[in-house]
């Protein structure tokens, strides 16, 4: 995973080449988020695992990639420390998302 992968995955229409990036400058969230054109949430549990507070409460992730700007961690079936709590939280998140999607915008 590198800058090229990130741009291909999350900003396919931005046509930004990794070679054009200033390697000595770390981009902020505010710089990058407006350029994100797609975000696939194939697994809501993955999203939950990406939130540091929730991840520490519910999972024991294993670092699988530690080079570069960030650490990539993997959470396997045996790494869920509180499956019932995770299940309840996921159920609440799903219900909340369904309610939000049916509310008409102002």
Angle formed at CA 100 by CA 105 and CA 91, multiple of 5 degrees = 175
Q: How far, CA to CA in Å, does 40 sit from each of 11, 16, 62, 66?
A: 12, 20, 23, 23
Residue 99 CA to residue 3 CA, distance in Å, equals: 36
pLDDT exceeds cutoff 70 at 27: no
pLDDT tens sequence across 70-90: 778 787 888 888 888 878 887
Residue 36 CA to residue 32 CA, distance in Å, equals: 7
51 pLDDT tier (thresholds 50, 70, 90): confident
pLDDT exceeds cutoff 50 at 20: yes
CA nearest to 52, candidates 76, 29, 73: 73
What ranges do the domains of the chain cover?
Answer: 1-40, 42-106
Q: Is the pTM of this model over 0.85?
A: no
């Amino acid at each position: 995973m590198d800058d090229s992968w990130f741009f291909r995955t999350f900003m396919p229409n931005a046509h930004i080449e990794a070679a054009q990036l200033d390697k000595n400058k770390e981009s902020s969230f505010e710089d990058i988020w407006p350029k994100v054109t797609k975000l696939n949430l194939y697994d809501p549990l993955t999203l939950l695992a990406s939130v540091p507070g929730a991840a520490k409460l519910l999972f024991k992730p294993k670092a699988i990639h530690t080079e570069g700007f960030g650490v990539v961690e993997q959470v396997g079936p045996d790494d869920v420390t509180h499956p019932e709590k995770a299940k309840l939280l996921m159920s609440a998140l799903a219900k909340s998302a369904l309610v939000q999607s049916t509310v008409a915008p102002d």
